[in-house]
Amino acid sequence: MNKILVSIDGRSDEARDVVKLTLRRPDGDHLPGFTPGSHIDLFLPNGLTRQYSLVNDCRDPSRYEIAVSKAIASRGGSSCVHEQLRQGGLVEISAPRNNFALQPGHDTFQFIAGGIGITPILSMIRHCQSQGWKWNLLYLARTRAHAAFQDELLALGQERVRFHFDDEARALFDFSAPSFAVDPGVPIYCCGPTPVMNAVDRFSQGRPDNPAYFEWFSPPAEAVTRQPATDFKVKLQRSGQVYAVPESKSILEVLEENGYELSCSCREGMCRTCETTVLEGVPDHRDYVLSKGEREAGRTMMVCVSRARSEMLVLDL
């Protein structure tokens, strides 16, 4: 993966335990373009790689903006951002990727954000504004102090933004309440913690005219029981090597054990970094990023989590 060196041109506190970083090329050149909902990999000085959504207007190629919430049980990613990345410093990033793109064919959108899940949603709202599209936002947060970008959102359309703060309401948001409704045909885009995502998924399932699209923070609880993992083989087309993949290991792990260095990041099927072309065989998709159409086509797979329905997979490696 090609890495891009950027300087931290700005740093500000956007909410309680939420810091925004503005990233630019040190030489002032433009950064690669991106579309609303995109994210970048941030290669941290402690050796970890984390994905963060771009929040700024995609029409401005001079900078990227990300916002990072310090997780209560941080595994070293968000804490490193908060404690080590300072204005004026340098850091490496990837080019943008988009697993949460706005689907064509709509000019009206319902956005739902939970906490720091506002980050990909904010770039989508900015894009809707530039296109003259209609949108509404439901923004859920534990407290008012934890809700980032409140002033910016209200400036974009106060009548379109509805806030719900758990402490003030003394309850979680009730999606079955009559006060919340989505017009037929309007798609829902949601990002937030698992309880919010699950609640929105249930809401959408009862409304086939309101398809829902999600950006998950972490792998969701399975809605259905997966088939048990079984042994299979992978053949690497370029070298002709064949490797057995036992039920206890992923394709990625087997290849790494045999000296291959593949691009990877999350190892949970969440980021699309390890996406690999499938030349023959039937993948057993276990990721959270491929669309239904991409799964049915079976042309690529995430080798960090996905397996095989056929006895052999031939990969373009």
The DSSP result for 193-247, as a single string, is -HHHHHHHHHHHHT-TTS-EEEEESSPPPPSSPPPPP--EEEEETTT--EEEE-T
| Residue 173 near residue 138, CB atoms below 8 Å | yes
Say what angle helices 150-157 and 118-131 make with each other, to 10 degrees: 20
Q: Rounded to whole angstroms, what are the CA distances from 268 to 36, 237, 272, 275?
A: 23, 25, 10, 12
Helix (H) or strand (E) holding 127: helix 118-131
Tell me whether residue 64 is exposed, middle or buried, using C-beta atoms within 10 angstroms of its C-beta: 0 to 12, 13 to 18, 19 or more. buried
Q: Are 113 and 137 in contact (CB under 8 A)?
A: yes
Tell me the average confidence (pLDDT) per consecutive run of 10 residues in the chain, 317 residues long.
92 96 96 96 91 95 96 81 96 93 94 96 96 97 96 91 96 93 95 92 89 82 65 96 96 96 84 91 90 85 95 96
Tokens of 94: 């990837």
| Spatial separation of the C-alpha atoms in residues 220 and 9, rounded to whole Å | 35
For residue 120, what are its two tokens? 């990909």
User: Are residues 63 and 42 in contact, defined by beta-carbon separation less than 8 angstroms?
Assistant: no
Compute how many other C-beta atoms are within 10 angstroms of the C-beta atom of residue 24: 17
- The vertex-129 CA angle with 193 and 215, nearest 5°, equals 20
Given a contact cutoff of 8 angstroms between Cβ atoms, the answer to whether 229 and 284 are in contact is: no
Angle ∠(136,139,140) on CA atoms, nearest 5: 150
Question: Residues 108, 186: contact at Cβ < 8 Å?
Answer: yes
The total number of residues written for the chain in this structure: 317
Q: Please state, in angstroms and rounded to a whole number, the distance separating the CA atoms of residues 1 and 4.
A: 10
If residue 42 lies in a helix (H) or strand (E), which one and from where to where? Answer: strand 39-43
Spacing of C-alpha 286 from chain mean position: 16
Domains and their CATH numbers in the chain: 4-93 (2.40.30.10), 108-216 (3.40.50.80), 232-315 (3.10.20.30)
Tokens standing for residue 201 = 């998924």
pLDDT of residue 151: 93
User: According to the model, what pLDDT value does residue 294 have?
Assistant: 83
18 exposed, middle or buried (CB, 10 Å; 0-12, 13-18, 19+)? buried
φ, ψ at 280 (rounded to 5°)? -145, 155
Q: Which residues pair with 141 in a beta bridge?
A: 165
pLDDT of residue 223: 47
**Amino acid, single-letter form, for residue 100:** F
What pLDDT sits at residue 99? Answer: 87
